Amino acid sequence: MRTPIIAGNWKMNKNPKETQEFLDGIKGKLAESGVEAIIGAPAIDLSTLVAGAEGSPLKTAAENSYFEDEGAFTGETSPKALSEMGLDYVIIGHSERRQYFKETDEDINKKAHAILKNNMLPIICCGETLEQREAGKAEEWVTGQIENAVKGISAADLVKSVIAYEPIWAIGTGKTATADQAQEMAHVIREKIASLYDQDTADKVRILYGGSVKPANVKELMAKEDIDGGLVGGASMDPESFLALVNYQN
């Protein structure tokens, strides 16, 4: 009953021309997979992305936004403006933003509220470091991140939102968490949502796995009960690879 998602996160890659080339590469090839296909692109590429996605099943995501709609915040991106441009989703709390740009759980919670208020949906990222995993602290850390991120969000809003579990040690390293490790944490996250809300809400929210997802391992990950999709960096940048991910069932 949960529609699967394949969401690309291009990170700080591609310019508008390369974005258009990607869109040309997937044009007319997305229909009928039963999978919700999303591309998250840098702010500078979003006009091209939204224009190219129009009239196609492709959904669009920004990789970040600020939590205020407008004002004296030099260099930030307004969630209101993103919504007016036609963006569907905003990725928030990615480990790279937490690590390099010092985003806190509180920032991420404010961003989630701002995104929902502006009629877009957050893709809320969480994940532990290798150190935390080895110390047996991964579950406590990740469920804490989720609890803080969803504070004050209604069940009605949460069921439309997306959670992405991305163990930091698996991002861009080629080291995928095993499908069992990914499933285990996705299940823990769903149980946390059930305890914070209720079982019905937990059963509806979509939980993605991210970290070295590629066409060769996507099927095994997607077969797991609590994994509803992938948040994909490297393997989402090439049209053929992205299409292979979206069509993982074939």
Task: Spell out, one character per residue from 7 to 26, where the chain touches ligand 13P: x when CB under 6 A holds, - when not.
Answer: --x-----------------
- Structural contact between residues 142 and 165, judged by C-beta atoms closer than 8 angstroms: yes
Which of 158, 208, 232, 246 is in the footprint of ligand 13P by CB under 6 A?
232
Side chain identity, residue 52: G
* By the rule CB under 6 A, 127 interacts with ligand 13P: no
Closer Cβ to ligand 13P, 99 or 199, answer by number: 99
Which of 64, 183, 212, 217 is in the footprint of ligand 13P by CB under 6 A?
212
Residue nearest ligand 13P by beta-carbon distance = 233
Active-site residue (options: 36, 63, 94, 113): 94
Is residue 113 among the annotated active site residues?
A: no
Q: Identify the DSSP state of 222.
A: H
What distance in Å separates the CA atoms of residue 105 and residue 98, rounded to the nearest whole number? 9
Tokens of 158: 């949460």
- Structural contact between residues 5 and 35, judged by C-beta atoms closer than 8 angstroms: yes
Site for ligand 13P in 172-211 (CB under 6 A): 172, 210-211
Detail the residues annotated as belonging to a binding site for substrate: 9-11, 172, 212, 233-234
Tokens of 33: 């997979």
Closer Cβ to ligand 13P, 192 or 214, answer by number: 214
* By the rule CB under 6 A, 231 interacts with ligand 13P: yes
What distance in Å separates the CA atoms of residue 250 and residue 234, rounded to the nearest whole number? 21
Is residue 166 among the annotated active site residues?
A: yes
Side chain identity, residue 27: K
Tokens of 185: 């944490």
Q: Which residues are catalytic?
A: 94, 166
